[in-house]
Structure 1
Amino acid sequence: MSGVDFMERLLDGVVIKWIELGEVAEIYGGLTGKSKSDFDGGNAKYITYKNIFANINVDSSILGSVKMSESEKQNEVKYGDVLFTGSSEIADEAGISSSVTTHFDGPVYLNSFSFGVRFNNDIPVIPEFSKHLFRSSFMRSEIAKTASGVTRFNVSKGRFRKILVPIICPDNPKKSLEIQAEIVRILDTFTELTAELTAELTARKKQYDYYRDQLLRFEEGEVEWKVLGEVLQMRAGQHISASKIMPNSSDEYSYPCFGGNGVRGFVGTKSHDGEHLLIGRQGALCGNVQRMKGQFYATEHAVVVTASNEIDIDWAFHMLTVMNLNQFASQSAQPGLAVGNLQGLKIPLPSIENQKRVARILDKFDALTSSLTEGLPREIELRQKQYAYYRDLLLSFPKPESVEV
């Protein structure tokens, strides 16, 4: 039986009602009144922006900590809530969702730059179902329309409340839950397989990280140490209006434009040419390092790194990666890296010949664990595409004429 036939059979005679989200759920905000110092340790737990962005359901094992007084009144996250990132430097990545599918032992709060959705008690929605629904291609396209901005796109709560969501058998909760559970059963089969492959790849990467750390470990006095600012030039990229960034490459817009987390699109002018490193300087994923070759444009959300004659660019890449620059980000709701702080960090500097030799070894190890053309990374990519196909198929409910597809 094909996927289409299965859906027709599963939904035979089933009523699907599309209702504005604001009519079936309440929307609440994240932490308020918090300063940078409040996130430097703390007595309470909160769900980070990165946790929401990276997981279709919240990972309760990696909660952040925040200082909270007994008299504070903050919104608590509950089982069944759907959490959303409130902003992003890329419009299509604003409003990324993560469902709460576990019960917490105590109060848990929400990152300031995020918000939560809590369905009304009379609306039958399984949390495991919502984790797939709000990541489906159709719902993502609708959510993206609620975001606006110039250098950073923010979700409008007013527009978000008007998003139409499919409610299965609103007058027959038992039937609704049965259909949701069947869809979840099928989709979880794909995500569980992907999780198994990812766990195996993670184990291999840990092995690679061990050997990498051994090759990059030096004691004081063993080699010369210098601060990054002495051997690497670090400068933030340049602002460019979002209206000048195109989603696809063309003859007129041929230069890839990079923000803090990767490619934002393509632009008609370049800011850099040659071999450089890019460090994300803003957001939950700040501190990520990537190599660049050729002509490109870097926005102000990225730090462009240029190597001096004393340091090999590939050696610098591996050293900056192993230094885990994210740990130096400001501990606030919206983390960021200061270029001045990075320039003061120390780095070991063996001879240029040894730098190149070690970099070549690490590049070979890296290829084994991150190549998208072979091995586990390729298998994971194929499974993710398979999951996305069936997710969108199983969640392609009949839509009213007022909903544009």
Structure 2
Amino acid sequence: MSQLSYMEKLLDGVEVEWKSLSDIATITIGDFVHKNNQDSSAKYPVYNGGISPTGYYEKYNNTGNKIIVSARGANAGFVNRISQPYWAGNSCYSVGVKNSAEINWTYVFYFLKNAENKLIGNQQKGGIPAVSKKQMEVFQIPIPPLNVQAEIVRILDTFTELTAELTAELTAELTARQQQYAYYREQLLTFDNNQIQYKRLGDVVNIKNGKDWKNLGNGDIPVYGSGGVMTYVDTYAYDKPTVLIPRKGSITNIFYVETPFWNVDTIYYTEIDTEQILPKFFYYYMKTIDLMKLDTGSGRPSLTQAILNAIGIPVPSIVEQERIVSILDKFDALTTSLTEGLPREIELRQQQYEYYRDLLLSFPKPEVVAHD
């Protein structure tokens, strides 16, 4: 049985009345509390934008079981629910039902949350996005019988819990696989100094500076900076397998590149002596080094060629390097697959949840709805 037919059966022919939010709930704006008066050790959360607390305060101005809606700012229209006492700031609407014998406050939350995109879409434009109190007051909400409201809440609470559990499980799975990969990479790339020859990085690779790209034409050659690909141009600086090592900025962002590229002056590329060391082996080993410990920058993180050239690099036989690379490639592929696939899986579950929420909260509107 579909959710729609289930709801039709639950309503059993009862007509659903639509009312303005102000008819069924009180809508108040909070009071400003200065940051200096807030304390992270205080008991009550302070809400403004609605997504998360902006601080904590020793007093509260709402007793909980309320819906909060961000009044202004980038998140204006964002809907949340608070069960415990809290302090509402002056950018936060608090919505509390007037008669709990007729209106289930969690039902109102779910309906407003389902209509969140509409609220956000109706932001008053100008200097700072905002949702006015008048917009909140005239917002229309269907009022089915209380038992129907309770059943909708039960179903959506279950969906919410299951979605949260699945998200936590998938996130934990990804974290575990990443930790497992890091562990095996560390084990495979830890050598006995008496059995493996170590060389200075500068003895096995030649570090090369990047150049400005702004005078180059558009094309399909990626331009790398310390943050990754910046744009695409029509020529390349180097076209052999290499490891890119940031010079400034995000100095832990190491890249392995096999195809032609251009690099700017915030990231080095390396000419690798492939008779001594495989590019991919060099890449995997560099990923095990804590480059932040080599930072020479007083403000922005920086790495110099002299410091990089002095790093000790193990140089086992090429056959052994190939074996290690083969194993780590498999781990890397698995981790990459999980990294890309799990967020997509979480997104699909969230879409499924929102689909059923929309289905449960879709009531026929009367032909004419009066507005204030």
Normalising by structure 1, report the TM-score: 0.53
Corresponding residue for 2:357? 391
Larger gyration radius, structure 1 or structure 2: 2
Corresponding residue for 2:16? 16
CA distance in structure 1 between the aligned counterparts of 2:32 and 2:357, rounded to whole angstroms? 35
Q: Is the 8 A contact 2:226 2:249 kept in 1?
A: no
Shift in Å, 1:66: 3.1
SS for the counterpart of 2:130 is strand
Q: Is the 8 A contact 2:247 2:302 kept in 1?
A: no
CA distance in structure 2 between the aligned counterparts of 1:68 and 1:164, rounded to whole angstroms? 36
SS for the counterpart of 1:188 is helix
Q: Is the 8 A contact 1:312 1:352 kept in 2?
A: no
CA distance in structure 2 between the aligned counterparts of 1:31 and 1:211, rounded to whole angstroms? 49
Counterpart of 2:37, as a letter, is D
Shift in Å, 1:160: 1.6
The match for 1:86 among 64, 67, 71 is 71
Q: Is the 8 A contact 1:190 1:383 kept in 2?
A: no
Q: Structure 1 residues 211 and 311, CA, compared in 2 at 3 Å: closer, same or farther?
A: farther
Q: Which runs of 5+ in 1 are unaligned?
A: 55-62, 169-175, 216-272, 279-290, 296-306, 319-342
| Equivalent pairs, count | 263
Shift in Å, 1:403: 5.4
Shift in Å, 1:145: 4.8
The match for 2:146 among 177, 197, 210 is 177
Corresponding residue for 2:210? none
Corresponding residue for 1:262? none
The reply on whether 1:192 has 2:161 as its aligned counterpart is: yes
Q: Is the 8 A contact 1:94 1:147 kept in 2?
A: yes
Higher relative contact order (CA 8 A, sep 6+): 1
Corresponding residue for 2:61? 75
Counterpart of 1:37, as a letter, is N
Corresponding residue for 1:53? 51
CA distance in structure 2 between the aligned counterparts of 1:292 and 1:8, rounded to whole angstroms? 53
SS for the counterpart of 1:43 is coil
Q: Is the 8 A contact 1:77 1:110 kept in 2?
A: no
Root-mean-square deviation (Å): 4.3
Q: Structure 1 residues 370 and 191, CA, compared in 2 at 3 Å: closer, same or farther?
A: farther
Q: Is the 8 A contact 1:129 1:181 kept in 2?
A: yes
Q: Is the 8 A contact 2:69 2:80 kept in 1?
A: yes
Counterpart of 2:64, as a letter, is K
Shift in Å, 1:164: 1.0
Q: Which runs of 5+ in 2 are unaligned?
A: 186-221, 233-243, 256-296, 312-324
Corresponding residue for 1:281? none
SS for the counterpart of 1:148 is coil
Shift in Å, 1:399: 0.8
Counterpart of 1:194, as a letter, is T
Corresponding residue for 1:95? 77
Counterpart of 2:88, as a letter, is L
Q: Is the 8 A contact 1:311 1:352 kept in 2?
A: no
Normalising by structure 2, report the TM-score: 0.57
The reply on whether 1:367 has 2:336 as its aligned counterpart is: yes
CA distance in structure 1 between the aligned counterparts of 2:55 and 2:7, rounded to whole angstroms? 43
